[in-house]
Amino acid sequence: MNTRSQIRLLLWKNWTLRKRQKIRFLVEILWPVVLFIGLVWLRKANPLYKQHECHFPNKAMPSTGIIPWIQGIFCNANNPCFKHPTRAEGSGVVSNYNNCILARFWADSNELLFDDPEFQQLGRVWEDMAVMNNFMDTICNTPEQIAGRGLKIEDILKDDEMLTAFLLRDVGLSESVVHQLVNAQVRPEQFAHGVPDLHLKDIACSQALLERFIIFPSRRGMYGVRNAMCALTQQRLQKIEDMLYANVDFFKIFRLCPDLL
């Protein structure tokens, strides 16, 4: 059977089915007509209007910050459409509301509280006090954690310290003795409960006491410092102690304390 005969047979079959099912045949004709008439009616009832190009405000993600994220949620709740490009469509801008009252208040608060040098200094003092409190708690309760470690005298002196010049010029110590002394390390756990009730002359002339409070770079250096300091009077040793305290930078001590823990 050729193709033409197959098509004729298929059309005859369909026509026969439609004649036997008249209601179905009627519905198949009227249903598309009804839909078409409905579309025509909707088109006449709602005339077309010209819609301009839409630019929607951006909605910042939480990673851009709390303020831009909250602004993007509440200020764009109705999803407005603008004819012109919005500000945040430019590169490097994450929010359309940088000049709003809330954003300006947030920026001014950050500038006043966190960018002010005096406030930053106060914050650093608070952090240093917390570090020092933790350090003092360690050396008072568990001093064995920092046993054998100390703070280098040269590292805790002020940048414009006068101790070295005083030891060389006024006291008359040699450069090697001064070098050994400023490069020695002080054992902080020995001063946890205050300054020991000992005479400076006794400490300067005793090898055991010197090693108890100070860690020297070498034993030979310790002998040199002991011999030079033991030859000084109690009054001269007291001046050296006062000069040492006057040239200590306590903020440097605060910064170095965590390294010992």
Query: pLDDT tens digits for 87-129?
Result: 666 666 655 555 555 566 666 666 666 655 655 565 666 676 6
Same domain, 92 and 157: no
* Number of compact structural domains in the chain: 3
Same domain, 163 and 61: no
The confidence score (pLDDT) of residue 34 equals: 92
pTM above 0.75, yes or no: no
Same domain, 22 and 63: no
d(CA 210, CA 189): 14
Question: Tell me, what amino acid is at 53?
Answer: E
- Residue 167 domain-assigned? yes
Among 129-138, 172-181, 232-241, the least confident range: 129-138
Same domain, 156 and 199: yes
- Residue 28 domain-assigned? yes
The predicted model gives 155-173 an average pLDDT of 84
- Residue 106 domain-assigned? no
Same domain, 177 and 235: yes
Same domain, 77 and 196: no
* Residues 6+ away with beta carbon under 8 Å from 193: 140
Same domain, 134 and 231: yes
Same domain, 142 and 227: yes
Among 6-20, 130-144, 150-164, 230-244, the least confident range: 130-144
Same domain, 164 and 227: yes
Same domain, 80 and 185: no
Residue 59's domain comprises 54-98
The confidence score (pLDDT) of residue 37 equals: 92
- Residue 179 domain-assigned? yes
Q: How many other C-beta atoms are found inside a 10 Å radius of the C-beta of residue 114?
A: 10
Same domain, 154 and 207: yes
Same domain, 136 and 255: yes
